[in-house]
Copies of this chain bind each other. A is one copy, B any other.
Amino acid sequence: MNTISTRGERLKKGSASRRVQNKLDLKRQILESAMTLFETHGYDGFSLRQVAEAIGYSPTTIYLYFKDKDELLFNIAYEGFRDFGLALQAAYDSSSDHHERIWRIGRAYFDFGMNHPVHYRLMFMQRGEFLAQTAPTGYTDFVDSFSILTRALSEGMDEGKIKTFDPQMTGGLLWASLHGVVSLVLTNSHLPPETAEPLFAWQMQILERELRM
């Protein structure tokens, strides 16, 4: 009976995990479909019923996987925060020179905004409060993008390569400067898109001068 019970348990566990897997698959499918719909229709034109239509389920099915529309939106945003954090981390890792490092983080920030305007708008302009929200279930390895910035700064300060200021404050200054350029370009008023790059370069140059000892 040892073998029987073992086989039974194995079956039990197997089907149970298959169940969970299916659930995760559909949850992922919803999220995936929601993201593409969100990217094409934008914040205002995004609806749950469209998502349901796209995946071939009834609208209420979504509620079995997400508490409400806002939680789904948050998960969409979170995918962005994840990629954003990874991009900034990669920039951090790509150099050991402190100034070059900060330059590359700035570049990664700018590029993310230019390449993912719809996501950027959601994350930092329309629903900026999402950034302060705790990670949804299933995401463990989130890198806080702001921390990458402040770490790069305080390390540079500790090693005497960067002028000493309050790292939080300095991080805020950098963040604000980059966000200003990106969001102004995305908002698209008065600023032709070809001025984005030189404006970014200028801003970075000014910041570098401010921070260099």
Given contacts A126-B126, A169-B195, A198-B169, is CB(A203)–CB(B176) below 8 Å?
A: yes
Shortest Cβ distance from residue A113 to the other chain B in the assembled complex, whole angstroms: 12
Known contacts A177-B203, A199-B172; A189/B126 CB under 8 A = no
22 contacts between A and B (CB under 8 A): A125-B125, A126-B126, A128-B186, A128-B189, A129-B188, A132-B189, A132-B190, A169-B195, A169-B199, A171-B190, A172-B184, A172-B191, A173-B202, A175-B180, A175-B190, A176-B177, A176-B181, A177-B177, A179-B180, A180-B181, A206-B206, A206-B210
Instruction: A207 to B177: give the CA distance in the assembly, Å.
Output: 11
Contact A131 B176 (CB under 8 A): no
Which one of A124, A128, A132, A195 has the greatest number of beta carbons of chain B within 10 Å? A128
Bound CA–CA A171/B202 (angstroms) = 12
**By the criterion CB–CB under 8 Å, are B173 and A129 in contact?**
no
A190 near B146 with CB under 8 A, answer: yes
Instruction: Tell me the nearest residue of chain B to A181, going by C-beta.
Output: B176
Query: In this assembly, does A178 line the interface, its C-beta being within 8 Å of a C-beta of chain B?
Result: yes
Which residues from B are CB-within-8-Å of A131?
A: 187, 189-190
* Ranked 10 nearest A-B pairs via Cβ: A180-B180, A128-B187, A176-B180, A131-B189, A176-B184, A176-B181, A179-B180, A125-B125, A132-B189, A146-B190
Instruction: Kindly state whether residue A47 has any CB partner on chain B within 8 Å.
Output: no
From A186, A187, A207, residue with most partner B Cβ within 10 Å = A187
Q: Does residue A183 face the partner (Cβ distance < 8 Å to B)?
A: yes
A41 to B4, CA, bound (A): 63
Given the complex, which residues of B lie within 8 Å of A195, measured CB to CB?
168-169, 172
